[in-house]
Amino acid sequence: MRTIKTRTAIKLLRLAMDRGLFPEAEIQVALAELQGLDAPGQLPPTKRGLEVLRGVHEHRRQAGLSPTMAELAAKLGVSRPTVHEHLRILVERGHLHRTGPNRSRNYLLTQRGLLALHSTKRTR
């Protein structure tokens, strides 16, 4: 269980990253250390993260563009804020790339994201 100090430090680091106060790579490493994780870029997607990746990938293949938060939420049976959080984490971990900050359909799978999807298909 995280202490209040640790949670506060994580919030401050995320705020600093959002405002561009420090190099993003340094903040990612600091966040990972506070959260007791390996380097963020090395973390595999969670089970739900894989479902989100799969949803983005399939929608882009079928429609030619990324799904909206509402479309992904409906497909996965979760709320839009939950989808938003999973997308944020997948971007942090290098599985997705945002093409622009103010666009609703702006997520692309990175090579790392595609590898994560294909590696889970082979192990099933």
Percent of the chain with pLDDT over 90: 28
**Which one is predicted more confidently, 119 or 87?**
87
User: Which pLDDT score, from 0 to 100, does residue 21 have?
Assistant: 73
> Is the per-residue pLDDT at 109 higher than 80?
yes
User: Which pLDDT score, from 0 to 100, does residue 38 have?
Assistant: 46
What would the mean pLDDT of 91-118 be, rounded to a whole number?
83
| Sign for the pseudo-dihedral over CA of 29, 32, 33, 34 | positive
Using DSSP, state whether 108 is helix, strand or coil.
strand
Q: What is the DSSP string of 11-78?
A: HHHHHHHHTT-S-HHHHHHHHHHHTT-S-GGGPPP-HHHHHHHHHHHHHHHHHSSPPPHHHHHHHHTS
User: Which pLDDT score, from 0 to 100, does residue 24 have?
Assistant: 63
Decide if 75 contacts 55 (C-beta within 8 A): yes
> Is the per-residue pLDDT at 80 higher than 50?
yes
Q: Is 10 exposed, middle or buried (0-12, 13-18, 19+ CB in 10 A)?
A: middle
> Is the per-residue pLDDT at 66 higher than 80?
yes
Q: Is the pTM of this model over 0.85?
A: no
With a CB cutoff of 8 Å and minimum separation 6, the contacts of 60 are: 66, 108, 109
Per-residue pLDDT of 37-53, as tens digits, reads 444 456 778 889 999 99
